[in-house]
Amino acid sequence: MGNNTVSDSTEKTTTEERVTITLTNYPIPVAEDEREIGLEALEDAISQLLGVNIASADITARVGHHYVQIGNDCPRCGGLLELRQYTYCDNGAVAEANCAHAPKCEWRGRAIYRMIDLESGPVADVESAVANGDMTPSYHSY
């Protein structure tokens, strides 16, 4: 069954996962229209190389560093989370979290914070240490 298809309604031979490919020193054109053409060509090449039909919405090429973010909604019911009792740890903080829809929803846990950038300058003209190249972020798997 090596064709990566579903064999029946309960057993899958593939899973949906996120794959990140990082290219360092990849020559990206400065002109925005040329950059977009180059990035689209890269997306097409990856799709063809893998030999699978990847929808254009499922593969994205981006330039520069990026950060991840999740919402402040409850993972169980979608209600807003209440955060309290922040504690500094390692490269960020941990806060106690619980769903604001208690007692209907009893979800409790911790919100994990990590420093993703350092910004300086006046509020109207903030400068990012990562975007300016003063700091390089590291990337870690969950």
Residue 80 domain boundaries: 67-119
Q: Is residue 134 part of a domain?
A: no
Q: Are residues 75 and 112 located together in one domain of the fold?
A: yes
Q: Are residues 47 and 90 located together in one domain of the fold?
A: no
Do residues 98 and 120 lie in contact, with contact meaning Cβ atoms separated by under 8 Å? no
Q: Name the residue among 59, 61, 79, 60 with its Cα closest to residue 71.
A: 79
pLDDT in tens, the chain (142 residues): 344 444 445 567 767 677 788 888 888 888 999 989 988 888 888 888 877 666 655 777 888 888 889 999 999 999 999 999 999 998 999 999 999 998 899 999 999 999 999 999 888 899 999 999 999 999 888 8
Alpha helices in 13-133 (DSSP H): 32-50
Number of other residues whose CB lies within 10 A of the CB of residue 74: 20
Q: Are residues 83 and 42 located together in one domain of the fold?
A: no
Q: Are residues 25 and 50 located together in one domain of the fold?
A: yes
In the chain, the number of structural domains is 2
Q: Are residues 79 and 58 located together in one domain of the fold?
A: no
Q: Name the residue among 64, 62, 44, 61 with its Cα closest to residue 53.
A: 44
Q: Are residues 74 and 104 located together in one domain of the fold?
A: yes
Whole-structure pTM value? 0.64
Distance CA 139, CA 42 (A): 22
Query: Which class for 140: exposed (0-12), middle (13-18), buried (19 or more C-beta within 10 A)?
Result: exposed
